[in-house]
Amino acid sequence: MNTHEKKIDNLFLGWLYSSLTLIFIIIIVGGFTRLTNSGLSITEWELFKGILPPLNKSNWELYFSMYKQIPQYNLLNSNMSLSEFKIIFYWEYFHRILARLIGLFFIIPLIYFYLVKKINSRYLILCLLASFLIVLQGLVGWYMVRSGLVNDVTVSHYRLSIHLSLAFIIISIIFWLILNFKRKTIITFFNFSRKNFPFLILILLIFIQIIFGAFVSGLDAGKIYQTWPMMGNSIFPDDVNVKDLNNFFDFGNHSLVQFYHRSLAYLITIYILALSYYIFRNTVIKLYKPISLILLFLTIQIILGIFTLVSGLNIYLASAHQISSIFLVFTAINLYYLSAK
């Protein structure tokens, strides 16, 4: 490899790390936007305008007047002042600005790396997939916001789960690409061999848990039962009336969604402990460190989840709970990568 090619490789890897960091940050900002109920403060998509925030009182009054027309203001925030509105506005504003920045930061350098033709095309295909999902994410974000502007005081928890899941898929693609590029390998993620299957199941379980976490957040289901380990006086919520099998799939039921989120946490814990036993029992030395990292972040995630619940949904604990889930995904992907290597 000559000096120019090495420089391009370093530039490419630095770009991947920077993109990963930006997406990591926007997940955090998006979490705070949801936790502060700020996502509906800007009621128009503003794809090409809205780059600058309101710069005078008349513009602030205009945005505030548009917010006053939606159910969230009329039913929940009818006593909100302009200064209070500015707080929720800026959370959504920074979320949107960061999304624009990520789109430009990812797509423009990708064009450059394609034109210089020094990066393996298989890496670039993954980058192209990520760029498509980033654009799609913008559309999904507005699709989500629209669900809370007419008949509801918040966005659809189903659309929120799609929005969050896409963010995790994008950051996972970039993380997988970094693992491959650093080692100059091309390991395919979807390799359904007997050896890989247990690790793929773990990643699937964590992603399902992320979806249910979005359901809990979107429905504010954490406000229903704030005790642990029991839900009130029992393991199963006593306000859920299960008459037939279809009732078990009522993902709009706040208590049932929280129950599933808790149950999946227990299942994932048991599954990771079983994987740990298998790895140490069979002396798979190369997986000692990655499985230990998973156990660490699983412990942190469990502790944060419990304290978030019993604290009455403290937003800082809730945000930390979401952040630790990103690291749990990273460590699960890293475990799978090293096992498949």
Q: What is the pLDDT of residues 307-329, one digit of tens each?
A: 999 998 899 999 999 999 999 99
Report pLDDT for 241: 80
- Flag the least confident range among 25-29, 49-53, 111-115, 152-156: 49-53
**Rounded CA separation 296/311 (Å):** 22
- Flag the least confident range among 79-93, 229-243, 291-305: 229-243
- Flag the least confident range among 19-33, 71-85, 229-243, 280-294: 229-243
Report pLDDT for 150: 86
Q: Nearest 5°: CA angle at 295, between 285 and 324?
A: 130
**Rounded CA separation 16/21 (Å):** 9
Q: Per residue in 83-107, pLDDT tens?
A: 999 999 999 999 999 999 999 999 9
- Residues 96-120, mean pLDDT to the nearest whole number: 93
C-alpha distances in Å from residue 164, one per residue of 13, 80, 157, 178, 294: 25, 28, 10, 21, 21
Cis peptide before 229 (omega within 30 of 0): yes
Percentage of the chain lying above the pLDDT 70 cut: 100
Query: b vs e for 243-259, b when ≥16 Cβ sit within 10 Å of the residue's Cβ?
Result: eeeeeeeeeebbbbbbb
pLDDT level of residue 1 (50, 70, 90 thresholds): low
Q: Residue 135, Cβ neighbours under 10 Å: how many?
A: 12
Report pLDDT for 213: 95
Strand partners, 231: 234
Length of the chain in residues, anyone?
A: 341
- Flag the least confident range among 69-78, 194-203, 233-242: 233-242
Q: What is the mean pLDDT of the chain?
A: 93
Percentage of the chain lying above the pLDDT 90 cut: 78
Q: Is the pLDDT of residue 245 over 80?
A: no
Q: Is the pLDDT of residue 250 over 90?
A: no
Q: With CA atoms as reference, report the closest residue to 64 among 75, 51, 52, 77.
A: 77
